[in-house]
Amino acid sequence: MKLKITFLLAFALVVSACTNKKTQKEDMDTTNKKIAAATPNDMFLLVGTYTSDEGSKGIYVYKLDTETGQADSLSMAEAVNPSYLAVSPNEEFVYSVSESGEGNSTASAFAFDKKRGVLKLLNSSNTKGTGPCYIETDNAGKTVVTANYGGGNISLFQTKDDGTLFPVNLVIDFEGSGPDKDRQNNPHLHSVRFSPDGRFLFAADLGTDKIYRFDAIGSVFEGQPPVSQGSLKEFSTPAGAGPRHFDFHPGGKYFYVLGELSGDVIVYDYDEGDLKEKQVIATDSVEGSRGSADIHASPDGRFLYASNRLKDDGVAIFSINPDDGTLTKVGYQPTGKHPRNFVITPNGKLLLVASRDDNKIQVFSIDNQTGLLTDLHQDISISKPVCLKFASM
């Protein structure tokens, strides 16, 4: 009797293994067909998520029609709290943070097989700073930088030719505080970006109401820091603003900062890396929401969008004065709960919102005359989406 049970169990395991292999092959065949059927309107959509709750397992890849907003699921790569992503300039690699605590905070490199729509983990490296929440690459794809919210610092890595990360070769710590005793007792670096021309590295510090700027070093040898620490220059935002994310105007003359705590957009003239404040404008009418999240200018430079969470969840819509870059509020689009991050398609036709607490990505069309948004009801269901990035197909 025991021999019979053992035989049946072994047979069941063999059948199960064969079935799993068949299912995986069928899934990949389906994915390959979706990619083969792609049109010039289609792009890869990469989604970073929080994995602390059951449901999400890492980074998800979709095919998105940038005309209709229809999306098809392609693949998933397991990762822990990949809350922010960066695509290398050649789109061969994807870099992700692992937003975790002491000892577990890392930056990870993935190879991106665009023929199959699949990400493959290459390696991970400790950021030496807790709570990394933003990641960026330089224009050459040779430097990767993370902003570490809990650590109050930024970490810089060099990349190898195969896309893998060297161990962190520079950690820059900051000091200071702001007037908000609950949120600004210490530095909290929340975003970091290179200027479009690659000459400078900018970082936003929510904890000190500062924007930091460093000179970037264009060509470095192995182990050489990719920025000059001695070149540090600081720009102040209004007290209590809590600068979170920022964006450069496509025309190169203006710089927009979103204050998470104040709910304001601060407009600066941008000239050869220098910032001169010229306007402060509220994103919504709800005082004390303290939850503004993301900011992006439209590709044509005519409109600016900023998301708000916690109260009156939605996206504020501004027109941009072509003569001086100042803003005029023209609308407000309600969204799902906690619109932490959003992205605009390169053709300027769609705006996608990662509504974290409603477990979905919403797809809106953009009116190219008014900048206003219309829900296309093409929601993508996914657990805890918090970062959206595009890559060409």
pLDDT tens digits, one per residue of 223-258:
778 899 999 999 999 999 999 999 999 999 999 999
Most confident of 46-60, 95-109, 199-213: 199-213
pLDDT tens digit sequence for 323-374: 999 999 999 999 999 999 999 999 999 999 999 999 999 999 999 999 999 9
Torsion sign, CA atoms 113, 119, 122, 124:
positive
Q: Which of 237, 313, 328 is nearest to 282 (CA)?
A: 328
Sign of CA dihedral 358, 360, 361, 363: negative
pLDDT of residue 24: 63
**What is residue 219's predicted lDDT score, i.e. its pLDDT?**
67
End-to-end alpha carbon distance in the chain = 57
The CA-atom distances, in angstroms, between 173 and each of 17, 141, 147, 194 are 50, 23, 11, 18
- DSSP single-letter state for residue 137: E
User: Using 50, 70 and 90 to split pLDDT, how confident is the model at 5?
Assistant: very low
Q: Is the pLDDT of residue 213 over 60?
A: yes
Amino acid type, 4:
K
Task: Annotate 247-316 with three-state secondary structure.
Answer: EECCCCCEEEEEECCCCEEEEEEEECCEEEEEEEEECCCCCCCCCEEEEEECCCCCEEEEEECCCCCEEE
Express each pLDDT in 121-144 by its tens digit. 999 999 999 999 999 999 999 999
Q: Which helix (H) or strand (E) holds 76?
A: strand 71-78
- pLDDT score for 182: 93
Task: Give the whole-number percent of the chain exceeding pLDDT 90.
Answer: 82
Mean pLDDT of 109-118: 97
Query: What is the chain's Cα-based Rg?
Result: 22
Mean pLDDT of 110-120: 97
Q: Which residue has the higher pLDDT, 29 or 118?
A: 118
| pLDDT higher than threshold 80 for residue 161 | yes
Mean of all residue pLDDT scores within the chain? 92
> Once rounded to an integer, what is the mean pLDDT over residues 30-54?
90
In order of 213, 222, 238, the CA distances from 194 in angstroms are 9, 20, 23
Which pLDDT band holds residue 96 (cuts at 50, 70, 90)? Answer: very high
- For CA atoms 276, 282, 283, 289, the dihedral sign is positive
Q: Is the pLDDT of residue 2 over 50?
A: no
Give percent of the chain above pLDDT 70: 92
* pLDDT bracket for residue 9 (50, 70, 90): very low
pTM, full prediction: 0.92
pLDDT of the residue at 218: 73
Q: Mean pLDDT: which of 23-37, 92-106, 184-198, 280-294 is highest?
A: 184-198
